[in-house]
A and B are shown apart, each in its own frame.
Chain A
Amino acid sequence: MNFAVPTELETEIDELITHYPQKRSASLMALHALQGHFGWISREAIEWIAQKLELLPINIYELVTFYPMFRTNPVGKYQIKVCRTLSCALGGSYKLHEYLCQKLGLDSNAQSLQTTKDGKFSVEFVECLASCGTAPVMMCNDDFYEGVTAPKADEILTKCK
């Protein structure tokens, strides 16, 4: 597979590295940058970052699998994260998750990330998103939605189209 990092992205990552006294520290930020561009962290991306930060691939592989925000497989264009932790659960996040899954034709009992067949949406239950006062909450890519009711969920989904 061809793996090429665009120059702007590489410059961005080079700039990020200068923020830290040790190159290794930049790994999380570099992973964010790469994931922002590619959507997920491929094996080649891991190797690329490791080389960039003068590390071994295992050092990056360890991180990618530790931090749940990093994806090791391609995901949908829109990643929907529904909070499942207590306050949101009390506020109806299970219903929201079920509703979204139903709407997108996914299995609402599944634990892990699922992607629609057209590769447009990925839905996932995640742990606390820290907006417990406005439960239930969800994220669609970087955007945050609070107090999501069924109509609001519809609205968000339509916006993604």
Chain B
Amino acid sequence: MSAAAATTETKPSPPPVEKIRIKVDGREIEVPKLMPDWQGKLQPTTMLQACALAGVEVPHYCYHPKLPVAGNCRMCLVEFGLPLIGPDRKPVLNEDGTTKIAKQVLPYEPTTVRGAIACATPISTGMEIYPGSPATRQMRESVLEFLLINHPLDCPICDQAGECKLQEYSVDYGQSASRFVEAKVHKPKAVDLGPRIVLDDERCILCSRCVRFTKDIVGDDALGFVNRGSYSTLTHFPGKPFDNNYTLNTVDICPVGALTSKDFRFQMRVWFLKQTKSICTSCGTGCNIVIGSREEKIYRYEPRQNDAVNSCWMCDAGRLNYKWVGREDRLVKCGVRNPERGMKDASWVAALNEIADRLKKAPAGSVAIVASARQTNEELWLLSKLKAKLSATSDSVPRIGEGDKLLVNVDKNPNSYGARLTGVAADPMGSSLPKIADGIRGGGIKTLIVFGEDVTKHGIGAELLGKLETLIVSDILPSQTTELAHYLLPGCAHAEKRGTFTNIKGRVQKLMKAVEPRGDGRPEWEFLHDLVYNVTGQNGFVSIEGLFNQMVKEVPAFNGLTWAGLGDLGVAVRI
């Protein structure tokens, strides 16, 4: 069975959960009694979760599905009712036989509604929640007013504007004019919290999301509140900067513009940014991200929720690892080395034809391929076809660094499994690199194809490269290897092309194109396809979708996948 390898879910299916019936704004729905909390443990379903299942959004600030519940913002207060229990401890019935509902009121003031915070109040059978009632609306309006009285209202200079919950709910529940005539509380502005974070305390609504994140998710109690009451201020211990590898997540979860990223600060208004779903390529984890770009310039990476990979988080190192895409010294021209005149620009057709001619003439076994585990599955698979045709030796470069418990993997290659599964990498990865070096030294290998790696740093020195008859190099940034290339093929950064990666847990995830390639750069899969066609005569894949679907037929581990079936979150394969 071809689909056997591809399992849609790695998690075991949860045990069947008891369902209970409640009403949301008069609409009866059935919801599970237990639902996963922030750690994924089953806990009694909260009103907020139940409302979400009913398709009703309950506004909130402090609640975050992946953080412990704090219940301090009070924005999610809702009016609710419970079945009225008579003195005989049985529900009281209406005349028509339905259960009588007692709307909850203040015990000391029965004319006033008592709200409950939807984020922490568990539901019970027969409960009625009224997220759309006038009383609920009034509670939201009042909480929002409280939040706004001491807010500086400086949206024009606030980076959060456009994705600010305070702005959004102000549209829904705010008043056009403030009745607050007293002086506002002023707090420190532009506080340098750490190497990547700036804090504006006046904007802070003290929801404590950042505090909980850094304490409960990262385990680095770097942030805290000082002072009391309305003067409470978010801060770090003076002299102890907020500096762990996950600080920038606090910028994402900050519902207002209190925490801002130094990297993104005052760079671009968020409403201009085009959002492209993609994958972080800085390590084997493959965090799901959203690339924010405008006019072919990348401004930021943000994590995208994928509970099977990165939850809602990503590391700072990965997040800031986009600047090289826009570097000035990018390789932008296709080049062919002329024995007399050195490297000269060439057209793609001419270069690829020339390479194909040379490869076709190369005796079997005289070609070696050094691929990169930073290439996509499709590109590696195309290389494996070349390898098969030319009986080439191939390998890719392993990259082991430091990892942590949360997200950062020790494998700094984003697609080690792709390289393994397509058969391009040796086992263990990198073990054939010395063989290739020896082959060149001994003269057995005369042609070397290098993709995205500076092989001079991995055991194949410049003097060895000089011995080659043909050195075909594709890369994005210049290196010693690209300088020695006979054929130089400018490739694309990950944000400039589409394709798939297989992460360290065997999840095949899609890369999407956010910006156009620089100069003459072309996606590697595109020109590799041309090359493979020129060399082997195989065809049948003109688009990335077609290529992927062809690949899954031929690579056993990928059997049963489809490009469309990968969706936004990818699919795990057996590895």
Question: What CA separation (Å) do A82 and B155 show in the bound complex?
Answer: 43
Residues of chain B within 8 A (CB-CB) of A62 are 224-226
Q: Flag the segment in A53-61, A97-105, A128-136 that touches B.
A: A53-61
Query: Are A66 and B228 in contact, CB atoms less than 8 angstroms apart?
Result: yes
Q: Give the residue name and chain of the B residue nearest to A64 (CB).
A: B226
Residues of chain B within 8 A (CB-CB) of A46 are 237
Q: A56-B221, A56-B222, A59-B221 are in contact. Are A65 and B228 (CB under 8 A)?
A: yes
Quote the shortest CB–CB distance from B219 to chain A (angstroms). 11
Is the contact region of chain B dominated by helix, strand, or loop, or is it mixed?
loop
A29-53 contacts to B, CB under 8 A, are 43, 46
Quote the shortest CB–CB distance from B53 to chain A (angstroms). 37
Quote the shortest CB–CB distance from B239 to chain A (angstroms). 8
Q: A56-B221, A56-B222 are in contact. Are A61 and B227 (CB under 8 A)?
A: no
Question: What CA separation (Å) do A46 and B238 show in the bound complex?
Answer: 11
What 0/1 pattern do residues 208 to 239 of B give for CB contact below 8 A with A? 00000000000001111111100000011111
Residues of chain A within 8 A (CB-CB) of B222 are 56, 58
Question: What CA separation (Å) do A33 and B295 show in the bound complex?
Answer: 62
Residues of chain B within 8 A (CB-CB) of A56 are 221-222, 237, 240
Question: What CA separation (Å) do A62 and B215 show in the bound complex?
Answer: 14
Question: What CA separation (Å) do A61 and B236 show in the bound complex?
Answer: 9
Residues of chain A within 8 A (CB-CB) of B237 are 46, 56-58, 61
Q: Give the residue name and chain of the B residue nearest to A55 (CB).
A: B221
Q: Which of B223, B227, B228 contacts A58 (CB 8 A)?
A: B223
Q: Which of A55, A57, A68 contacts B240 (CB 8 A)?
A: A57
Quote the shortest CB–CB distance from B338 to chain A (angstroms). 63
Interface size class of B (residues with CB under 8 A): 10 to 19
Question: What CA separation (Å) do A61 and B223 show in the bound complex?
Answer: 10
Residues of chain B within 8 A (CB-CB) of A58 are 221-224, 235-237, 240
Query: Are B226 and A65 in contact, CB atoms less than 8 angstroms apart?
Result: yes
Question: What CA separation (Å) do A65 and B232 show in the bound complex?
Answer: 9
Residues of chain B within 8 A (CB-CB) of A55 are 221
Residues of chain A within 8 A (CB-CB) of B226 are 61-62, 65-66
Quote the shortest CB–CB distance from B216 to chain A (angstroms). 14
Q: Give the residue name and chain of the B residue nearest to A50 (CB).
A: B237
Residues of chain B within 8 A (CB-CB) of A59 are 221, 224
Question: What CA separation (Å) do A59 and B227 show in the bound complex?
Answer: 13
Quote the shortest CB–CB distance from A22 to chain B (angstroms). 15
Interface size class of A (residues with CB under 8 A): 10 to 19
Residues of chain B within 8 A (CB-CB) of A57 are 237, 240
Residues of chain A within 8 A (CB-CB) of B238 are 43
Residues of chain B within 8 A (CB-CB) of A65 are 226-228
Question: What CA separation (Å) do A56 and B222 show in the bound complex?
Answer: 8
Quote the shortest CB–CB distance from A6 to chain B (angstroms). 25
Question: What CA separation (Å) do A58 and B222 show in the bound complex?
Answer: 7
Q: Give the residue name and chain of the A residue nearest to B242 (CB).
A: A58
Question: What CA separation (Å) do A43 and B226 show in the bound complex?
Answer: 14
Residues of chain B within 8 A (CB-CB) of A61 are 224, 226, 237
Question: What CA separation (Å) do A102 and B222 show in the bound complex?
Answer: 44
B333-376 contacts to A, CB under 8 A, are none
Give the one of B224, B225, B227, B239 with max A CB within 10 A. B224
Q: Give the residue name and chain of the B residue nearest to A56 (CB).
A: B221
Quote the shortest CB–CB distance from B232 to chain A (angstroms). 9
Query: Are A66 and B227 in contact, CB atoms less than 8 angstroms apart?
Result: yes
Residues of chain A within 8 A (CB-CB) of B240 are 56-58
What 0/1 pattern do residues 109 to 153 of A give for CB contact below 8 A with B? 000000000000000000000000000000000000000000000
A51-92 contacts to B, CB under 8 A, are 55-59, 61-62, 65-66, 68
Q: Give the residue name and chain of the B residue nearest to A68 (CB).
A: B228
Question: What CA separation (Å) do A46 and B221 show in the bound complex?
Answer: 15
Question: What CA separation (Å) do A59 and B223 show in the bound complex?
Answer: 9
Question: What CA separation (Å) do A66 and B235 show in the bound complex?
Answer: 13
Quote the shortest CB–CB distance from B70 to chain A (angstroms). 15
Residues of chain A within 8 A (CB-CB) of B223 are 58
Question: What CA separation (Å) do A71 and B530 show in the bound complex?
Answer: 75
Question: What CA separation (Å) do A68 and B226 show in the bound complex?
Answer: 11
Residues of chain A within 8 A (CB-CB) of B227 are 65-66
Question: What CA separation (Å) do A65 and B227 show in the bound complex?
Answer: 5
Residues of chain B within 8 A (CB-CB) of A68 are 228
Residues of chain A within 8 A (CB-CB) of B225 are 62, 66
Residues of chain A within 8 A (CB-CB) of B235 are 58
Question: What CA separation (Å) do A28 and B5 show in the bound complex?
Answer: 58
Question: What CA separation (Å) do A55 and B227 show in the bound complex?
Answer: 19
Quote the shortest CB–CB distance from A48 to chain B (angstroms). 13
Give the one of B225, B235, B237 with max A CB within 10 A. B237
Q: Give the residue name and chain of the B residue nearest to A66 (CB).
A: B228
Quote the shortest CB–CB distance from B234 to chain A (angstroms). 11
Quote the shortest CB–CB distance from B194 to chain A (angstroms). 12
Question: What CA separation (Å) do A62 and B228 show in the bound complex?
Answer: 10
B256-304 contacts to A, CB under 8 A, are none
Question: What CA separation (Å) do A58 and B239 show in the bound complex?
Answer: 11
Quote the shortest CB–CB distance from B300 to chain A (angstroms). 28
Q: Give the residue name and chain of the A residue nearest to B227 (CB).
A: A65
Question: What CA separation (Å) do A46 and B240 show in the bound complex?
Answer: 13
Question: What CA separation (Å) do A20 and B228 show in the bound complex?
Answer: 26
What 0/1 pattern do residues 96 to 108 of B give for CB contact below 8 A with A? 0000000000000
Question: What CA separation (Å) do A56 and B223 show in the bound complex?
Answer: 10
Question: What CA separation (Å) do A65 and B224 show in the bound complex?
Answer: 11
Q: Give the residue name and chain of the A residue nearest to B228 (CB).
A: A66
Q: Give the residue name and chain of the A residue nearest to B222 (CB).
A: A58
Give the one of A46, A55, A56 with max B CB within 10 A. A56
Question: What CA separation (Å) do A59 and B211 show in the bound complex?
Answer: 11
Question: What CA separation (Å) do A70 and B235 show in the bound complex?
Answer: 18
Q: Give the residue name and chain of the A residue nearest to B239 (CB).
A: A43
Quote the shortest CB–CB distance from B230 to chain A (angstroms). 14
* Interfacial residues, chain A to chain B (CB-CB below 8 A): 43, 46, 55-59, 61-62, 65-66, 68
11 chain-A/chain-B pairs, Cβ below 8 angstroms: A56-B221, A56-B240, A58-B221, A58-B222, A59-B224, A61-B224, A61-B226, A61-B237, A62-B225, A62-B226, A65-B226
Top 6 closest A-B pairs, CB basis?
A65-B226, A57-B237, A58-B237, A62-B224, A58-B224, A56-B221
* Interfacial residues, chain B to chain A (CB-CB below 8 A): 221-228, 235-240
Given A61-B224, A62-B224, A66-B227, 12 additional A-B pairs, CB 8 A = A58-B221, A58-B222, A58-B224, A58-B236, A58-B237, A59-B224, A61-B226, A61-B237, A65-B226, A65-B228, A66-B225, A66-B228
